[in-house]
Chains A and B, each alone.
Chain A
Amino acid sequence: MAFRLTINGTVHELDVADDMPLLWVLRDELGITGPKYGCGIASCGACTVLVDGAPIRSCVFPASRITGEITTIEGLGTPEDPHPAQAAWIAEQVAQCGYCQSGQIMSAVALLDGNPDPSDDEIDQAMNGNLCRCGTYPRIRAAIKAAATTEQQDG
């Protein structure tokens, strides 16, 4: 079926199966490859994107049913001009293989937008759906705290 999606501020016209998950629209139809395929069952969080600021697992969410504005990692910032969360990720040198980090950062951005000063428990709760096989969790915690501090100072 034909439908429209607004992704990172751009409107896209699509004509794909109405149950195709958003992830595969992004990756294989539009070439937006920041969101990653990890499990296909909403278990690992590598595919996390924001819809109107809320994190969703795009690997199980049918694209045709989304009416809100979609933000992927590409919509946050660039290596030259990173979003504060991305800047914190770079400063803390979080990434190893890096494959899960798009999803980690999107979950962190959603957390920090709603809660500028999360506690350890709140970080654990918000980030527990994002798996990292390299085990970068200690640095993810550090980066979220660093980003929270920066945003508070800026805000």
Chain B
Amino acid sequence: MGRARTIARRTFLIGSAAVAGGVVFGYWRYKTDYPNPLLDSLKPGEAALTPYVRIDQQGITVITPRAEMGQGVHTTLAAMVAEELDVELDAINVEHGPASKAYFNGVLLEEGIPFASIDYSQTAERVRAFTHFPAKLLALQMTGGSTSTPDGFVKMRKAGAAAREVLIEAAAKQLGANRNTLKTRSGYVESEDGRSVAYTELATLAADIEPPSDPELRPRSKWRLLGKSQPRVDVPAKSTGTATYSIDVRLPDMLFATIKMNPVLGAGMNAYDPSDAENMPGVRKIVPLEGGVAVVATNTWYAVRAANAIRFDWDSGTYPATTEGHFDVVKRAFADKPDSKFRDDGDVDEALIESVEVDGEYKVPYLAHATMEPVNAVAYLRDGKLDIWAGNQAPIQAAKDGAKIAGVDQDDVTVHTTYMGGAFGRRAEMDFIKSAVHVATAMEGTPVLTTWTREEDTTHDNYRPLAIARFRANVSQTPTLDLQVSAPSVAESQFGRLGMPVAGPDITIAQAAWDQPYAIPNYRVRSYRAPVMLPVSSWRAVGASQNGFFHESAIDEMAYAADKDPLEYRLALLKDNVSRGVLEKVAELSNWGGELPDGHARGVAFVMSFGVPVAEVIEVQKTGSGIRLVSAYAAVDVGVALDPRNIEGQVESGIIYGLTAAMQNEITVRDGRIEQQNFNRYDSLRIASAPDIAVAVLENGPKIRGIGEPGLPPAAPALANAVFAATGQRIRELPLNKHIRFV
């Protein structure tokens, strides 16, 4: 992991050195009821006051509570600490923390309450604050929901500030100086008379000093690192093949496994015949699992080859056998009572009695996450202890599930969270970790890397749900929009797998549909919960991934029906100034309304998700052989932009991920099986078709926000709206390539 060494390695180094001593700092006062997990791994003579900063003779280490999935958060979280601690970013190590309740994600549940993110009323803020308690009680150590930056913004800076205060105190003792005369700079405490002492030399003294409970934070005007683009701490390793993903973990005497599961998801295995497979070269063991088998071999390729030689008698499934059957179920749910009606302004029914000027039905398919690194994990069970190496978004859950399968105490499970070759929500699921622990349990005493093939990964994902939306609208002086969305519930499916019931409506079905900051006089959004069929899950931007398309296509249809410029039409309906700001910015950035070359056309979309208003313009060219993507423009408002270049990268990434799905991706079902197995039928946008992208990052919003997801939702509608502008064809179904050709 580049400069980030493991805790075990560090402990060994310190233990073997003549001088022992270390200290761990953090913002701990009001969280003292969760034990500091770093205490367990320190030797006598070292101290651990808090979970985020460790200083010892070897150097300074920032322990991040969130995982690096590619979003750059290790760098941003480390920069928060470094800013207050007065150290340089390249002078510190960054490590992912262990599975521990202390690292709960306080703001994770904020998005799950029925208050729009621009609602800053006292009630909304009170309820939002209240969600921090269950987040803490459930010990949700979860990376996702674009929450890592807002969750860490105060915690991590306070940890750095508290550590700095303690180091000054320690230096005052060591130098015999008045602490008020001491200054800190670049990892040193300096006295007025020119003496200086390195932080690393103060660790032992500092260990006995109580950190301040509420240290003062520096104003933005004093920031050296935050607010400026920083070189990412993970980039050198990732550019030299030296970053360790879980698929790269190698241990002595390790074996390699793969799995083969019933192609009908969730269905069982009646029988299997391993006779051809078990004598194949390299095969060590065939392990029956619930609904399939794992093959353990000396090489992943031997395991895969043997798995393909096993004959299976699969049980049949319970969900509809075809994609059409799945859509029928979703459609039927419109006849049920709404799951939610979070927006109901004016009198929509009354307004639509007179006339409906524009209406339509939209639909989107199931989608796979298709992370570049197929899901995999290493597990090693021996002497009643279980170690798991996995790129994962929820290490406490991994420990819990691992303990249950291996029959060990949860305290005897160590989760090593590695870099992830993409996650996008996939690695918040535990299925691939569980299969690895099943294998390790059958292979007790031997570490095993269990890799799902790309085919298993694509056909056994927990998918972005399919969904259908219906809208009716009037575009008179007092516009009316009535939007209904039906989809299987992500929350029900996800929490069901965790053995937890879902109380109340699933807000993700209506996410980024009900809470948009448009001031439409008659405005109603209702969601309908269809039964869960294929397992469904969080997929980058979750409900906003489909609802952005539904809502912004409907708004675009209204604009054209009203014979208005689609960007001006949106501006006229948006009353929130921060939201207006991103639309105005994207208009400026793209020179909206300017002359375009022949055959070129543009579409615009605005979606607020995860509290971030995002406006995107996409330009296409109509060629003789199809539609070509030309360029994309985006303006986002994150309130406080801690690392502008990384934010731009996340927006570019969201746009390409969103365009890929909008143009060409669908997961379909036939005979109960997933039809797409590999990238040849579930491809991604390639470099030759990727548009040029320009991103503007604004800071007018009142709160700091995360940006891993919000760039995605406007991409699909901006493209579909551009296709309409270019061709006059209003495509109401994704992927768009079912109706037009892209070149």
Which one of A40, A95, A135, A136 has the greatest number of beta carbons of chain B within 10 Å?
A135
A46 interface contact, C-beta 8 A: yes
When distances are taken between beta carbons in the complex, the residues of chain A under 8 Å from B422 are 97, 99, 133-134
Q: Are the CB atoms of B256 and A28 closer together than 8 Å?
A: yes
User: What is the predominant secondary structure among interface residues of chain B facing chain A?
Assistant: loop
- Give bound CA distance, A137 to B645, whole Å: 15
Q: How many pairs of residues, A versus B, come closer than 8 Å at their CB atoms? A: 196
Kindly provide the distance from the CB of A128 to the nearest chain B CB, expressed in whole angstroms.
Answer: 5
Residue in contact with B242 in the complex, picked from A24, A28, A78, A124, CB distance below 8 Å: A78
Number of residues on chain B facing chain A (CB within 8 A): 68
> Total interface residues on A, using CB and 8 Å?
61
**Which residues from chain B contact A35 at a C-beta distance below 8 Å?**
241
B258-294, CB under 8 A of A: which get 1 and which 0? Answer: 0000000000000000000000011000000000000
Q: Complex Cα distance A132/B683, Å?
A: 10
A90-111 CB contact bits vs B (8 Å, 1 = yes)?
Answer: 1001111111111001000000
Tell yes or no: A113 within 8 A of B by CB: no
Tell whether B243 is near chain A: CB-to-CB under 8 Å.
Answer: yes
> Are B242 and A134 neighbours in the complex by a CB distance under 8 Å?
no
> Do B72 and A29 touch (CB < 8 A)?
no
Most buried by B among A31, A133, A137: A133
The answer for the CA separation of A77 and B237 in the assembled complex, in Å, is: 11
Which of B299, B453, B655, B686 is within 8 Å of A29, CB to CB?
B299
Q: Are B656 and A97 in touch, CB under 8 angstroms?
A: no
B2 at the interface (CB under 8 A from A): yes
Q: Is the CB of B371 within 8 A of A133?
A: yes
CA–CA, A39 and B645, complex, Å: 30
- Please, which residue of chain A has its CB at the minimum distance from the CB of B281? A17
Asked if A140 is at the interface (CB within 8 A of a chain B CB), the reply is: yes
Determine the chain B residues whose CB is within 8 A of the CB of A95 once the complex forms.
70, 232, 234-235, 238-239
Asked if B560 is an interface residue, CB under 8 A from chain A, the answer is no
A101 to chain B: closest residue by CB: B238
Complex alpha-carbon distance, A73 and B238, angstroms = 10
Which residues of chain B from 216 to 250 have any CB-CB distance to chain A below 8 Å in the complex?
Answer: 231-232, 234-245, 247-248, 250
Contact B370 A20 (CB under 8 A): no
User: In chain A, residues 103-147, which have Cβ atoms closer than 8 Å to a Cβ of chain B?
Assistant: 105, 123-125, 127-141
Interface centre among B232, B304, B687 (most CB of A within 10 A): B687
For the complex, what is the distance from the CA of A96 to the CA of B71, rounded to whole Å?
6
User: Would you give the shortest CB distance from B495 to chain A, in whole angstroms?
Assistant: 27
B36 CB → nearest A CB, Å? 30
Max chain B C-beta neighbours (<10 A), residue from A24, A33, A94, A137: A137
Q: What is the interface of chain B, defined by CB distance below 8 A to chain A?
A: 2, 69-72, 231-232, 234-245, 247-248, 250, 256, 281-282, 298-302, 304, 370-374, 419-424, 451, 453-454, 645-646, 649-650, 652-657, 660, 678-680, 683-688, 690, 692-693
